[in-house]
Amino acid sequence: MWIFGWKGPSGYSARSTAEEVTQGIDGTGFTAIVTGASSGIGMETARVLALRGVHVIMAVRNVDAGRGVKEAILKELPSAKIDVMELDLSSMASVRKFALDYQSSALPLNLLINNAGVAGPFALSQDNIELHFATNHIGHFLLTNLLLETMKKTSQESNAEGRIVNVSSRGHHFAYREGIRFEKINNESEYNTIQAYGQSKLANILHANELARRLKEEGVQITANSLHPGAIVTNIARHHSIFNVFSNLGKFFLKNVAQGAATTCYVALHPQVKGISGEYFVDSNKAKASSLAQDAELGRKLWDFSISLTDPKQLGRSA
């Protein structure tokens, strides 16, 4: 962890901001989807990408909040290209509608930033899947699969590298001992909020790694990476009592939102990351995820399990 201003090999540290890591980069002509862009690091990611000339589509559950953010960004950056679209990642129907609407718009897609996340007590999604796993992983898994052809077409036509960025968390270290509880995803009696959140964040890394492997095999010009944004107190942490303590200590140990969005923007836009795929980043530098997160067989098993939940007909053709 490149903390206290110590710079890593990339030249950036935990103190670097999203604006700093994208300084001088021209994203004009790129189009990005940022999920969860109505608050926190998603909002800052959208703002900084727009600042660099990227056409940003804010994929948000609360459209009114999203429009408010859009107006604020346009007030600061009158020439920014920003659109707001509704997306509830806890609902596969909503994900499918979003993807269909996006495809109907005929917009290109260079960057897919899977940023949105939830953390809280036990609950089931509209599709009867434990809410952390449904929102943080399954929703993004389905969204990525549905938009992948659009990304491939954009990359081929523009001859520009597409990038998929999964915002994970160091919390993946606190997943259940076996990593992913395939047979107990909805088991409330053995539920633990921190471990359930960790499981979903572990899934984000495994998803990016397995997707990177498949894209390499296919020979397409699209990368997939994951990252830990840093310890940041945002709305996602409101259900964790320990963050009440962190809030008081935040000025000493936690990142602000501008710093929290740095690694996402770095992985999405920086030329240093060109051609790099299947990696995990912390503080805008390559880092090492947990041993479970590097388990390729677990990643393949998770892929098949995710296909079985989102599109069972494809299971036999998913390898």
Directed axis angle between helix 139-158 and helix 296-310, to 10°?
A: 100
SS3 230: coil
12, 102, 176, 191: which is the annotated catalytic residue?
A: 191
Residue entry with tokens 């990408």: 49
- Asked if 191 is an active-site residue, the reply is yes
Give me the sheet containing 222-228, strands edge to edge.
82-86, 55-60, 31-35, 111-114, 162-167, 222-228, 280-282, 285-287
Cβ atoms of 75 and 125 closer than 8 Å: no
**Residue 221 contacts residue 164 (beta carbons within 8 Å):** no
Cα–Cα dist 187/252, whole Å:
38
**What is the rounded distance in angstroms from the CA atom of residue 231 to the CA atom of residue 234?**
9
* 8 A C-beta contact, residue 243 and residue 233: yes
Active-site residue list: 191
